[in-house]
Structure 1
């Protein structure tokens, strides 16, 4: 009788040895892990959004700083701040005059300020065709990355590009919203303001402020007070009705064209005034082509402004209204409160 070798015995033992199974997650365990991951993402997302907003806010601040320095360099070169064209609302904006000082010399070379921006008769004027390929050009330094709105605006089948940064056209009280004459601010149509004209001090006078792009539609309902202007009922000739009276009138419709043409000196395309506080719950007022136009921002809690000394800061939307209006006046001699 043959004996089994030790190797054969060992092999037989191995064959019948219990097979160990690989451990696996149960359904409950998987659900717990997914829930934990969801909680972590929920905790992380606000931090990511805050970081992104901080970056956008810094870019917005840098844009305002560049624009303020461009205005300074313009004033140093031409002995006056860049001035909007005098020809009503159909001329060039102050922002367009700053282009050479914003490293936009090539774009500036395509502008001929001796030529009219708009041609035609009265309110039937349309864009000079030499600018057909220029007006829709978006300029990054004029756009705040926090604004989710559309910088492009279509008017009479022409696509214009807008900008978020408006020049200070005064306190806006009384008829100072009317940009055809001295508004008490630094800019109006045909203005030629110099540093020495800012007797309240460059550190206490706003040069530019941010606002939001329009809703790009007209409606009979208020959809968003921050991006629409209201047209009011009642008559009166241009520059004849005080802002307080306009503010009290009933509304006929809402307009979304604001901040849609960086090249043009139309009030609601290039000017800002201090009648409304920052991020006012009341929409701006459109009146005969002029506007009671407020500073508005997508940044939480306030709006960003650059002062005439070149400094940039956020002014809270809870700022005292009198102080806010005084910051838009270059020479009212008022003592300012905290801002």
Structure 2
């Protein structure tokens, strides 16, 4: 029996090169259309987690105030003491961690700027606390200082409007926190729904340089004189810059200004870098969320504040008792 040759109609069809290129092009277009949507969904999830973190921290501060009759207060002696963030750990399910902190012991030992970390904390300060970190920030929470690795956090305490010298952490700034502050709910006479409790900022890029690398993750050190707390924020803002530092938000345990405080002088995500001055500074709210930054108010609610917020309104939100009720924001 002889076999018949295959007819052209019985052959299995295949893609031509042109057809393959068309299919690949269509797939590429679909991926290009879907990728922004996927990225937006991921950022929405990260922003929600950031909001949840601020909510937990605000409630922890409430519980602290209820227990100790004041909001958590930073150490009053120097920049080398414990932060307010460190004192709310039991109220964010980190009680076992705080049991390792002895607030009767100094955090730093030594003299003046030669102080070094108390060795009892060598194995503690590099521990990351997830609720203190915003997942939208790709920066490194770890910060190396004098060969010691510290862990930082994104959420900072309200240190006042920042205008004039209200950025200075050694005295009442008009906000809720400064070194040694003891503020209660009754002291927030502008209303808890009109006053910021905490706001987020970005981790520093850990780069010290003479040229600006990134305005959002570096601080500027200004040239010119003046003793601590004697120069206004506006004067500092107008000065020329001598160097830039990427150290911000690197030590959640310590109450040094650029590790634990934030003020309202700059609007969210300002194009101007934060200002470092005698250990204090003008520190603004910053985030990787498009268009603004998250804040928690003293009533426990969380809000997203846009970059285009009226600056006077924004600064009023950092004042607890200036008698100026903010407008829409």
Q: TM-score range by the shorter chain?
A: over 0.9
RMSD: 0.7
SS at 1:236 equivalent: coil
SS at 1:217 equivalent: coil
Q: Which runs of 5+ in 1 are unaligned?
A: 1-10
Mapped to 2, the partners of 1:140 and 1:215 lie a distance apart of 19
Give the aligned partner of residue 33 of structure 2.
Answer: 43
Flag the structure with larger Rg: 1
Residue 99 (1) aligns with residue 94 (2): no
Q: Which of 141, 147, 168 does residue 151 from structure 1 map onto? A: 141
TM-score (normalised: structure 2): 0.98
Give the aligned partner of residue 7 of structure 1.
Answer: none
Q: Deviations over 1:171-198 (max 9, x none)?
A: 0111111100101000000000000000
SS at 1:245 equivalent: helix
SS at 1:98 equivalent: helix
Mapped to 1, the partners of 2:6 and 2:165 lie a distance apart of 95
Mapped to 1, the partners of 2:23 and 2:235 lie a distance apart of 62
Q: Deviations over 1:108-138 (max 9, x none)?
A: 0000000000001110001000000110000
8 Å Cα contact 2:65-2:72 kept in structure 1: yes
Aligned length: 327
Shift of 1:17: 4.3
Residue 303 (1) aligns with residue 327 (2): no
Q: Which of 284, 303, 306 does residue 316 from structure 1 map onto? A: 306
Residue 129 (1) aligns with residue 119 (2): yes
Give the aligned partner of residue 258 of structure 1.
Answer: 248
Residue 176 (1) aligns with residue 172 (2): no
Shift of 1:335: 3.1
Shift of 1:149: 0.7
Q: Which of 236, 239, 244 does residue 246 from structure 1 map onto? A: 236
Mapped to 1, the partners of 2:4 and 2:261 lie a distance apart of 90
SS at 2:286 equivalent: coil
Mapped to 2, the partners of 1:229 and 1:25 lie a distance apart of 58
Q: Which of 18, 21, 24 does residue 6 from structure 2 map onto? A: 18
Q: Which of 109, 114, 131 does residue 104 from structure 2 map onto? A: 114
TM-score (normalised: structure 1): 0.95
Shift of 1:283: 0.4
SS at 1:101 equivalent: helix
Q: Deviations over 1:21-52 (max 9, x none)?
A: 21111111111111111111111100100010
Q: Deviations over 1:65-113 (max 9, x none)?
A: 0000000000000000000001210000000000000000110000000
Residue 79 (1) aligns with residue 69 (2): yes
Mapped to 1, the partners of 2:268 and 2:313 lie a distance apart of 12
Q: Which of 57, 61, 65 does residue 55 from structure 2 map onto? A: 65
Mapped to 2, the partners of 1:215 and 1:34 lie a distance apart of 39
Mapped to 1, the partners of 2:243 and 2:31 lie a distance apart of 43
Give the aligned partner of residue 88 of structure 1.
Answer: 78
Range with greater deviation from structure 2 (19-28 or 176-185): 19-28
Shift of 1:236: 1.1
8 Å Cα contact 2:194-2:325 kept in structure 1: no
Mapped to 1, the partners of 2:82 and 2:168 lie a distance apart of 17
Shift of 1:18: 3.2
Q: Which of 51, 54, 57 does residue 44 from structure 2 map onto? A: 54
